[in-house]
Amino acid sequence: MSYSVEKTEHYALIQLNESKFDKSITGEIEKQIVVLYREGLTNMIVDFSKVLEIDETGLSLLRKATRVCRTEQGLFIVCTKDDDILDLIDGEKIPEIVLLPTVDEGIDAVFMNDLENDFREENDDEFDLGEDNGFTEGKF
């Protein structure tokens, strides 16, 4: 079971050095994802460039990890150029999973997502008339 984790302020990069993403590694990766999430990292990039096979436990973990990241407006990104892996993951119809060919594109996606989230928060604040002015949501 060989992988490495690189953490930054904005994302965690998990680089898999295995050809199979199956039950032999998913338990350890799931524990790592939980640790990263508890540390406040909600953007995760997984480098699948060396992965050639994925089983049902791997697909299940991708589904769970995507759901966890999206609940906090983060992204779960899988990076691979392998068409068979892409087709398999895409065929699972995992809502909101991001599939990109390279880690660099995954990093760009994280920063774009952060900008979009910041912009949304600014817009929410802009239209908040405030209870101090006598406005409440129930009055509209």
- DSSP of 111-126: HHHHHHHHHHHHHHHH
Cα→Cα distances 10→71, 105, 113, 114, Å = 16, 14, 10, 8
Q: Is residue 112 part of a domain?
A: yes
What does the pLDDT look like over 18-62, one tens digit per residue? 999 999 999 999 999 999 999 999 999 999 999 999 999 999 999
Q: Is residue 134 part of a domain?
A: no
Cα→Cα distances 112→27, 74, 118, Å = 30, 11, 10
Six-digit token pair at 130? 């405030």
In the chain, the number of structural domains is 1
Q: Is residue 85 part of a domain?
A: yes
What does the pLDDT look like over 102-120, one tens digit per residue? 999 999 999 999 999 888 8
pTM, entire model: 0.84
Q: Is residue 111 part of a domain?
A: yes
Structural domain of residue 48, as residue ranges? 3-128
Domain of 29, CATH number, reads 3.30.750.24
Q: How many residues does the chain have?
A: 140
Cα→Cα distances 16→92, 110, 113, 139, Å = 21, 19, 24, 53
Q: Is residue 78 part of a domain?
A: yes
